[in-house]
């Protein structure tokens, strides 16, 4: 009975102390696409990831009911750094859902013009950012004033605060109404109440930590997968020295509390067991203490991260090839930074097309036979089957402008056109492709079937085709698998190499795109298409993670375009819409929502890209 009454009392007090409006809440997942568009449209870097912020303690005065309930200590505020834009997991500040949505969009817009957080002058920097945003985009002023009015109505009244805190509160209110009019906050024994319309005053940024002498990152492995891709909240952490194992629990006996204490060794600084409560405990901790012991935990290292012995590895086709890599932090191209190793499958045996693909392959070949000699409109011709409206419009505009254009090239004609195309298909063969698509197939199986059908289709159309795969294990070992060269015919040997592909290692995409561009550039075709087939974003064991890998891949794509190539990415990654526009542009990618449809969709996409469908 007492326990039931206690739980009921706890629910009642906690609910009464909550100053949010959960019925009008807007979540980050719901607003993520709109917030990302707002941030990038107003000048924010497309390389920043949009992720959830974590709650931090604010130490401001709480209402007496919140002190009774033990709530209201933490708040989720937005901030940005060089890698990410962090927005609250959910916003329920206002009783109207419209205002909560507007607050998300306002924070995304404010972050687009604000420098990365440094925590030096929060008041001045916040006012400056607001003024710059409103000056550049005056249409946001009405939204901002609505948010300010709604927020000020919910802030603590200065009349109900002690004198020092009231002065600070009045300064915050003035800074919100007229940004730039307040130079400094009056001294106050307590911090001011959080301001959700501004960015975080002291975000939990990750400080750079130098590796210890005993620890070499090249000798240890890190688990590349997170427990949940959607749980990306930033935790505050501190670096501490590794305990020596002698700091245990001090169990004091009451009868000898002033005389002696018993030492009990319970230190578990290196624990290979994943406790069921570990994740929940981590979520409850505001500050985590992290130490390095210089030892690798066996069950954290995957079996395939170690390179196989030379006698069992694929056959090298040549010596390593040095390639550059883009360092976005310094804005320089690091020459000879990566080593690319061309490889040929050792255990590939010639084979026929798999039985489950033969019927579909016949249909795809029939569709692509019409592309061998396609019909094409030739514009601006002196004679033809019908007028060329574009040419006629230019001709009429020139005449009305007082020019005397020549009366020629006003028609268009439909003629047979021999295709002059070269395509290099670059397939991601990293370890992530070992994931299951359904109960019977993995991602690598879907990619394998796609390569079979794609090769069948292009061999029928007569287009020049090269097929390669890539994976990596740090910058010193980028693996580039030759599956079909441009000069090779599509035969049983090529089918055997497709059948032999297997997943492994990581995704250093920039180096693979640069080497593929070198190969494709040698093809003297009218149009050269570089298709990248992947299931996720660039990553590797070293610093090639997050924005670094994104920016290097983007620079490699830009280099390919400057060389006259047409890069296009096809992915099955559900989160790709958040980063692919930054990498390939709005028209440079396609997302396959159902991975099992990739084998049929790939030839269709190629036909559309080359003007044949």
Mean pLDDT for 265-273 is 48
Question: What one-character DSSP code corresponds to residue 527?
Answer: E
Please check whether residues 403 and 436 belong to one and the same domain: no
Query: Which tokens belong to 29?
Result: 């997942």
Is the Cβ–Cβ distance between 458 and 494 less than 8 Å? no
3-class state of residue 187 by DSSP: coil
Q: How far apart are CA 609 and CA 613, in angstroms?
A: 8
Q: And the tokens for 126?
A: 């916040």
What is the pLDDT, as a whole number, of residue 57? 87
Determine the 3-state secondary structure of 532 from DSSP.
strand
| DSSP element (H, E) containing 52 | strand 49-52
In a domain, 301, yes or no: no
Joined tokens for residue 209:
């930590």
Q: Could you report the per-residue pLDDT of 103-129, keeping only the tens digit for each?
A: 999 999 999 998 776 657 889 999 999
Lowest mean pLDDT, pick from 111-125, 328-342, 553-567: 111-125
Query: What residues contact residue 417 under an 8 Å CB cut-off, 6+ apart?
Result: 373, 374, 375, 376, 378
pLDDT in tens, 171-201: 999 999 999 999 999 998 989 999 999 999 8
Same domain, 151 and 63: yes
208 pLDDT above the threshold of 70: no
**CA gap 475, 540 in Å, rounded:** 8
Residue 468 is assigned to a structural domain of this protein: yes
Q: Is residue 168 domain-resident?
A: yes
Q: How far apart are CA 429 and CA 426, in angstroms?
A: 9
Q: In this structure, what DSSP letter does residue 336 have?
A: E
pLDDT of residue 426: 96
pLDDT tier, 151 (very low <50, low <70, confident <90, very high otherwise):
very high
Asked if 389 and 536 count as a contact pair (C-beta separation under 8 A), the reply is no
pLDDT at 311: 63
Contact, 472 vs 506, CB < 8 A? Answer: yes
Name the token pair of 212: 């210890």
Total structural domains in the chain? Answer: 4
Give the distance from CA 283 to its chain's centroid. 23
Q: Is residue 402 located within the same domain as residue 446? A: no
Domain CATH code at residue 341 = 3.40.50.410
- Residues 100 and 109: their CA atoms lie apart, in Å, by 14
Provide the domain limits for residue 325: 315-369+419-609
Q: What is the dihedral of CA 430, 533, 590, 446, to 10 degrees?
A: -80
Asked if residue 381 and residue 363 are part of one domain, the reply reads no
Q: Are residues 429 and 411 part of one domain?
A: no
**One domain for residues 402 and 513:** no
360 and 388 belong to one structural domain: no
Judge whether residue 141 has pLDDT over 70. yes
Q: Show the tokens assigned to 375.
A: 């019909």
pLDDT of amino acid 285 = 58
Report if residue 183 sits inside a domain.
no
Using the structure block, give the residue that is written with the tokens 């019925």: 23
Query: Does 125 lie in the same domain as 250?
Result: no
The predicted model gives 409-436 an average pLDDT of 83
Query: Widest CA span of the chain, in angstroms?
Result: 112
Instruction: Determine the average pLDDT of the residues in 473-489.
Output: 94
Q: What is the pLDDT of residue 227?
A: 41
Six token digits for residue 437: 């698509």
Q: Tell me: pLDDT of 247 over 60.
A: no
Q: Are residues 408 and 451 in the same domain?
A: no
Residue 261 domain-assigned? Answer: yes
Claim to verify: residue 516 and residue 575 sit in the same structural domain? yes
* Residue finishing a domain among 134, 154, 177: 177
Is 57 within a domain? Answer: yes
Asked if pLDDT for residue 265 goes beyond 60, the answer is no
Q: Judge whether 186 lies within some domain.
A: no
Work out the mean pLDDT of the chain and round it to a whole number: 82
Domain match, 8 and 148 both: yes
Q: 529, 609 in Cβ contact below 8 A?
A: yes
Whether pTM exceeds 0.75: no
CA dist., res. 549 & res. 416, Å (int): 44
Quote the CA–CA distance of 607 and 600 in Å, as a whole number: 12
User: How far is the C-alpha of 610 from the C-alpha of 603, rounded, in Å?
Assistant: 11
Among 163-167, 228-232, 385-389, the range scoring the smallest mean pLDDT is 228-232
Q: What value does the mean pLDDT take over residues 391-412? A: 78
Over pLDDT 70: what percentage of the chain?
Answer: 78
More confident residue, 67 or 485: 485
Looking at residue 297, its pLDDT comes to: 43
Q: Mind listing the pLDDT tens digit for each residue in 73-99? A: 888 999 988 888 999 999 999 999 999
pLDDT value, residue 440: 85
Which residues have CB under 8 Å from 24's CB, separation 6+? 92, 94, 95, 96, 97, 100
Domain presence at residue 539: yes
If asked whether residues 551 and 470 sit together in one domain, one would say: yes
Beta strands 90-91 and 262-264 are unpaired
Most confidently modeled range among 261-275, 399-413, 502-516: 502-516
């Amino acid at each position: 009975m007492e326990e039931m009454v206690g739980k009921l009392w706890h629910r009642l007090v906690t609910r009464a102390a909550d100053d949010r409006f959960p019925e009008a809440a807007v979540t980050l997942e719901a607003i993520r696409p709109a917030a990302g568009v707002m941030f990038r449209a107003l000048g924010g870097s497309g390389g920043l990831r949009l992720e959830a912020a974590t709650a931090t303690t604010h130490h401001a005065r709480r209402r007496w009911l919140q002190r009774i309930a033990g709530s209201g200590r933490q708040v989720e505020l937005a901030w940005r750094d060089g890698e990410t834009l962090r927005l609250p997991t959910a916003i329920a500040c206002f009783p109207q859902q419209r205002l909560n949505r507007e607050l998300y969009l306002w924070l995304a817009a404010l972050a687009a013009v604000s420098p990365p957080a440094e925590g030096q002058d929060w008041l001045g920097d916040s006012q400056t950012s607001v003024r710059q945003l409103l000056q550049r985009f005056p249409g946001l002023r009405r939204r901002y004033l609505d948010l300010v009015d709604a927020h000020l109505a919910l802030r603590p009244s200065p009349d109900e605060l002690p004198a020092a805190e009231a002065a600070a509160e009045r300064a915050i209110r003035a800074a919100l109404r007229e940004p730039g009019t307040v130079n400094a906050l009056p001294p106050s024994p307590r911090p001011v109440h959080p301001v959700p319309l501004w960015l975080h005053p002291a975000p939990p940024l990750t400080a750079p930590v130098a590796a210890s002498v005993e620890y070499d990152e090249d000798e240890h492995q890190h688990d590349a997968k997170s427990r949940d891709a959607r749980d990306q909240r930033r935790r505050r952490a501190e670096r501490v020295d590794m305990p020596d194992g002698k700091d245990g629990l001090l169990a004091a006996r009451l009868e000898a509390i002033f005389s002696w204490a018993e030492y009990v060794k319970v230190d578990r600084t290196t624990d290979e067991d994943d406790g069921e409560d570990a994740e929940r405990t981590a979520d409850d901790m505001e500050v985590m203490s992290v130490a390095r012991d210089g030892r690798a935990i066996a069950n954290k290292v995957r079996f395939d991260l170690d390179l196989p012995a030379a006698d069992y590895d694929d056959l090298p086709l040549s010596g390593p090839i040095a390639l550059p890599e883009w360092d976005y932090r310094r804005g320089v191209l690091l020459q000879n930074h990566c080593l690319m190793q061309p490889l040929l499958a050792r255990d590939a045996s010639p084979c026929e097309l798999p039985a489950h693909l033969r019927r579909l392959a016949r249909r795809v070949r029939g569709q692509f036979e019409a592309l061998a000699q396609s019909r094409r409109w030739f514009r601006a011709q002196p004679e033809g089957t019908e007028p060329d409206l574009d040419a006629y419009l230019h001709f009429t505009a020139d005449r009305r402008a007082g020019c005397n254009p020549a009366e020629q090239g006003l028609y268009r004609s439909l003629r047979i056109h021999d295709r002059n195309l070269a395509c290099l298909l670059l397939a991601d063969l990293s370890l992530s492709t070992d994931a299951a698509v359904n109960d019977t197939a993995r991602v690598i199986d879907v990619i394998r079937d796609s390569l079979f059908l794609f090769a069948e289709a292009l061999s029928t159309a007569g287009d020049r085709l090269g097929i390669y795969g890539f994976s990596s294990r740090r910058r010193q070992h980028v693996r580039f698998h030759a599956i079909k060269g441009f000069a090779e015919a599509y035969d049983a040997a090529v089918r055997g190499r497709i059948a032999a592909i297997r997943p492994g290692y990581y995704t250093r995409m920039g180096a693979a795109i640069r080497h593929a561009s070198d190969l494709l550039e040698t093809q003297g075709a009218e149009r050269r298409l570089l298709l990248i087939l992947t299931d996720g974003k660039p990553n590797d064991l070293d610093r090639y993670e997050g924005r670094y890998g994104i920016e290097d891949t983007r620079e490699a794509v830009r280099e390919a375009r400057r060389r006259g190539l047409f890069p296009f990415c096809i992915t099955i990654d559900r989160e790709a819409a958040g980063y692919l526009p930054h990498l390939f542009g709005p028209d440079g990618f396609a997302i396959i929502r159902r991975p099992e449809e990739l084998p049929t969709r790939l030839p269709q996409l190629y036909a559309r890209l080359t003007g044949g469908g």
